[in-house]
Structure 1
Amino acid sequence: MPIAVDTAPVEQPDSSFKKRFTERTTPPPELPPFFYADRFDKAHFNDWRDELATKGYTVVKAIPTEKALEYRERAFQWMESFPLGFDRNDVKTWKNEHLPVHIKGGMFHGYGFYDISQLWDIRCEDGVIDAFAKVWGTDELITSFDGGSIMLPNRVDVMDSGKWEHMDQSHYRRGFYCCQGLVNLNNNGPDDGGLMVLEGSSTLVEEYFDTHGRNSYKSWGPFDWFGFTEEQQQWFFDRGCKWVKVCAEPGDLILWDSRTMHYNVRPKGDRDRVCTYICMAPAHLLTEEDRQLRVECFEQSKGTTHVPFAAIYARDFEPVKRSDGSPCPHDTGKPKNPPVLNDRMAKLVGIKPY
């Protein structure tokens, strides 16, 4: 994701994410056959992976509830650590002026957030790694350097900037390519904000583009991203796909095929939404060039897009900007609570081989 820029005290309707799409007609790179492309062509696992294959998403218990709630507590401690006046117990401070800069009501990408210790602790959880190991059939994994969300309910200074229905996979690719995930850290019901998925869309995207062509694509930057219009979505609705709000408990890992159309929504009820985004994939898929880029991103506390092994998209550090347009003095690009490198982290980064 791009660096968050707060352009006004209140988000304006014309700041819609879709308005920043670029439509391109440049030829795609040559895409070799992917080793795991047919892994989820059909349901044959006799466990939750069959739901991933047929519906395009599933929910797996990965972290004990009490521990997940401890991670939520650490997330609020992180926000309160900035000298901006935020107090979780005072709703009058639930405003942009008292919060670290974010986008879409609570998605954080500055302040070295990708590299804070709690995100690495979650990435290193046995249950998280075990789930991705079942997805791929190997426990020799690397991880994306994704961010997370801390969305407060009843915000009065944030306007809905619209949906951004998309898939995080180039429409030039064929077959399964990436499994995305988020670890939910609070009770998350129908009104609590969260992930929306177009159930069944992962099994139809190739047919859609085979029918309608692949000459152009809409993206905010990365190759592995495609934004869908309402007209394009209707084709999927006509074939039985429906939008589903995925509900989850603290410690649940929501997994979805990157071909699944999705977006997120802010809380409509009175409960906050806290989650961490994680994608893992087999380490053997890394080229040496991409491995070195990942090590550089880790050393510089830079985030990456979801796919951890190829076409890695990372931005150079630039301080996030506050509502008056000035760089936030609290964003140094380094986390306030950096992790301590251990053996598991070194392997998940690509510093150390398996």
Structure 2
Amino acid sequence: MNKNSIGERNLSTIGQQAFRLNERANGEPLRVLSEADWRFWRENGYIVIKKAVDAEQADRLQKLMWEFEELDPADPSTWYPPLKSQLRKTELSFNAGMIELYNHQYLWDARQTPRVHQAFADVWGTEKLWVSIDRMNFNLPPEPGFVFKSFMHWDYDPDTDPQNVQGVLAVNDQLDEEVGGFVCVPELYRNYAEWRREQPDNWDWYRPDVSQFQFVNVYLEKGDLLIFNSKLCHGIRQNKSKDKVRLAQYISMMPAQEGNQALRDWRIRSWSERLAPEGYSLHGDPRNWEQTKYRRAVLTALGEKLLGLSPWQE
């Protein structure tokens, strides 16, 4: 699977480069972002939406994550079962703590929260969006004999000028320096073209040497939503604590492709049958808990549009 293109990373998302991010050429009004937020977003390539979901929603997600992983939040000795310890040593997704849960009601509740949608509408310049069908993440403390070491990277080849945004919803507070969290390089975002001209022909965009730049740590409170431009080089700081966990849900949105019937049908089937997306590094849950243990998520009118079940009206 080619990891260079947006559509091949996760088939629930866009597969073309026809869309452009909002530039507000005519000073169009904002919905959630302030003017100061907008300037920060344009200059740094990321923005934090405070209290994008309420604390109760985040708490439900947190409880679900522990339940789905069959771990006891009060007992760190349960956090490293043998099977998952082995997977973490061989699969990057498990190294980073990916949780193979995609269509649970609580995930959809976050996706169809109006404030979340309106924030993405600001960065795209349209309310007619589809939401990604993505998963959650545990960033655990180091286990004996193995440590996941963070690295700075892009998720898409930046030379392709990806018109895409990514999002991380904080399921718990991420203010403790020890617990790790999102780190990025806004200086490189602003000066990419100049820096790129100096790179060798065989440079690796997934493992670039960006050590000459200043890294910026982004701290989030429970319920905050981080949105970042896919052209922003980023990583996850290593969890160096003994008994603390960073919890997150990945949420992004992109302009709806209502003319792409095959993609629309696939998205609806993923929601209806609780299927994991197909794409680079997406594995699914071998226990099939989404099909056997959880019900189909109930969607609001907004949620139906964000999925593609209902059309956006002209």
User: What is the TM-score when the length of structure 1 is the normalising length?
Assistant: 0.68
Which of 128, 138, 149 is the aligned partner of 2:137?
Answer: 149
Which of 96, 108, 114 is the aligned partner of 2:81?
Answer: 96
Distance 1:206 1:316, change over 3 A: closer
Residue equivalent to 1:16:
none
Distance 1:318 1:127, change over 3 A: closer
Structure 2 matches for 1:73-112, cutoff 5 A? 73-80=63-70, 86-97=71-82, 103-109=94-100
Which of 156, 160, 167 is the aligned partner of 1:173?
Answer: 160
Residue equivalent to 2:113:
125
Q: Deviations over 1:146-169 (max 9, x none)?
A: 11112333x424622433422233
Q: Which runs of 5+ in 1 are unaligned?
A: 3-20, 24-30, 81-85, 219-225, 305-312, 321-327
Q: CA separation in 2, counterparts of 1:99 and 1:168?
A: 24
The question of 1:59 aligning with 2:48 is answered yes
Structure 2 matches for 1:231-246, cutoff 5 A? 233-234=210-211, 237=212, 241-246=213-218
After alignment, is 267-276 or 199-208 more displaced?
A: 199-208
Q: CA separation in 1, counterparts of 2:254 and 2:3?
A: 28
Q: Deviations over 1:306-343 (max 9, x none)?
A: xxxxxxx63799666xxxxxxx5x24674732433423
Distance 1:67 1:117, change over 3 A: closer
Residue equivalent to 2:297:
340
The Cα of 1:122 is off from its aligned counterpart by 1.1
Distance 1:290 1:243, change over 3 A: same
Q: CA separation in 2, counterparts of 1:335 and 1:263?
A: 34
Distance 1:37 1:274, change over 3 A: closer
Distance 1:206 1:96, change over 3 A: farther
Given that 1:79 and 1:99 are in contact with CA atoms closer than 8 Å, whether structure 2 keeps it comes out as no
Q: CA separation in 2, counterparts of 1:91 and 1:106?
A: 15
Distance 1:32 1:123, change over 3 A: closer
Q: CA separation in 1, counterparts of 2:304 and 2:266?
A: 14
Given that 2:108 and 2:303 are in contact with CA atoms closer than 8 Å, whether structure 1 keeps it comes out as yes
Residue equivalent to 1:72:
62
The Cα of 1:262 is off from its aligned counterpart by 0.9
Which of 209, 228, 233 is the aligned partner of 2:207?
Answer: 228
The Cα of 1:65 is off from its aligned counterpart by 3.0
Given that 1:152 and 1:267 are in contact with CA atoms closer than 8 Å, whether structure 2 keeps it comes out as yes
- Indicate the structure with greater helix content: 2
How many residue pairs match? The answer is: 286
Distance 1:258 1:316, change over 3 A: closer
The code of the aligned residue for 2:76 comes to: V
Distance 1:130 1:115, change over 3 A: same
Given that 2:152 and 2:207 are in contact with CA atoms closer than 8 Å, whether structure 1 keeps it comes out as yes
Q: Which runs of 5+ in 2 are unaligned?
A: 5-14, 29-33, 89-93
Distance 1:301 1:211, change over 3 A: farther
The Cα of 1:177 is off from its aligned counterpart by 0.8
Q: Deviations over 1:205-261 (max 9, x none)?
A: 344445658x7785xxxxxxx41322xx25xx3xxx421221110000011110001
SS at match of 2:137: strand
